[in-house]
Amino acid sequence: MNIHPIKAFSDNYIWVIEEGTEAVVVDPGEAEGVMDYLEEQQLHLTAILLTHNHEDHIGGVKEMLAKYPDTPIYGPKETEPLADRIVQEGESFRLLGQTFQVIKTGGHTHGHISFLMGEEALFCGDALFSAGCGRVFTGDYQAQYDALQKLKRLDDETQVYAAHEYTQTNLRFAHSMQPSNKSVSEALDQANDLRAKEEPTLPSTIGREKKINLFLQAERLEDFVELRKARDDF
């Protein structure tokens, strides 16, 4: 099993999950880089997974379908008609010999979902970032808070494959809020080193996020809302 990031736009990651000659692609906001990679690696596209309906996550689907017709597309109802396998909280399906569980992670959009592959890997779109979380475009802070509480309960070793490279900015925000937090300071130094080498800061892990992600640490909804609004203005 190999999980490979394809860079897109200024800060998106499109994740390619590989097993042997088969591949599943998560949130292809654009197609060209993904199709080039699949061709170079001689991979067969088995399925596409969509976490939500924002253009930078679905924009490449039609072009990919033109090249790979009949590819099944799993996603929440808000991704219709692109998605033909509509999935929701509590459902699961098998791909690449792995079980993918669907977790409702609304807030960023109403229908946002995340995919948990076994217990090892979480593909969470814009619900959870390293040291951060997605903007609450719906205004439903309760939904976003509840989503984070679900993700917080996953195994500490679960790897977190978020869709954006926002780690440095998120950690700078966390450091501004908690300047004496050693875990945050060390994580920021590590992130700066990785980005200086143009390497991804992802994946993270749930255990790591519990130490550095202020949004996961928020004990009350009111604390979360205050943090999220402060981050919006940062």
Query: What residues are designated binding site?
Result: 52, 54, 56-57, 108, 126, 164
Query: What are the residues whose beta carbons fall under 8 Å from the beta carbon of 227, sequence distance 6 or more?
Result: 177, 214, 215, 218
**29 with 9: CB under 8 angstroms?**
yes
Query: Which parts are annotated binding residues for Zn(2+)?
Result: 52, 54, 56-57, 108, 126, 164
State the sign of the Cα–Cα–Cα–Cα dihedral 115, 121, 126, 127: positive
Task: Return phi, psi of residue 26, to 5°.
Answer: -110, 125
Q: How far apart are CA 149 and CA 70, in angstroms?
A: 36
79: DSSP letter: G
Q: How far apart are CA 58 and CA 86, in angstroms?
A: 15
Task: Return phi, psi of residue 94, to 5°.
Answer: -110, 130
